[in-house]
Amino acid sequence: MKIYTKTGDLGETGLFGGRRVPKHHLRIEAYGTVDETNAMLGLAASRCSDSELLNAILRVQSELFSVGSDLATPLDVQSAHIVRVDDTFVQRLEREIDAWEETLPALKNFILPGGNESAATLHVARTICRRAERAVTALAEQEAINPVTQRYLNRLADWLFVLARTANHRAGNEETGWSG
């Protein structure tokens, strides 16, 4: 299979199910920003030396492909090849957040994003994830989408925050509090 099809050369792309939309369509912006989140997680994974955290990142990268394909598939399109995101995705993130938070010092104020390279990259992934969440929210105002995708991205941003804190904590890095 060739990577290029030439069908998008005039500024349109196809959704699962065959419908063509402009490349600036909100749906494309939404799943494109999910893809950006995934790419940044790939960079974070390349900088992660903790095997537990690395495996969690790799799993979430796979889940983000499911989120992207869910968003690329209008709800009225039925396909055996599309995995619709469900609440088990969200619940898994919540369990991990809860477990990691038990090992972290309590937050007393805002912290500055940063620390080691892995944690800093996870903070960047978190901000991209929040942008994806905003794009999905805008899409949901225009078209019917799977509402779990919004919950998943909201929880994922929280997960990325806690994961960045965990990466720093396990590496022995002190968090820098906001002095404002």
Q: What is the pLDDT of residues 102-135, one digit of tens each?
A: 999 999 889 999 999 999 999 999 999 999 999 9
User: From the CB of residue 170, how many other CB atoms can be counted at a distance below 10 Å?
Assistant: 18
What is the pLDDT averaged over residues 21-49?
89
**CB of 129 within 8 A of CB of 157?**
yes
From 27, 3, 2, select the one nearest 14 (Cα to Cα): 27
CA 168 – CA 84 distance, rounded (Å): 33
144, two tokens:
């019917």
Mean pLDDT throughout 136-165?
98
159-164 average pLDDT score: 98
The mean of the pLDDT values for the chain is: 91
Q: Which residue segments constitute the domains of the chain, with CATH numbers given? A: 24-171 (1.20.1200.10)
The pLDDT of residue 95 is above 80: yes
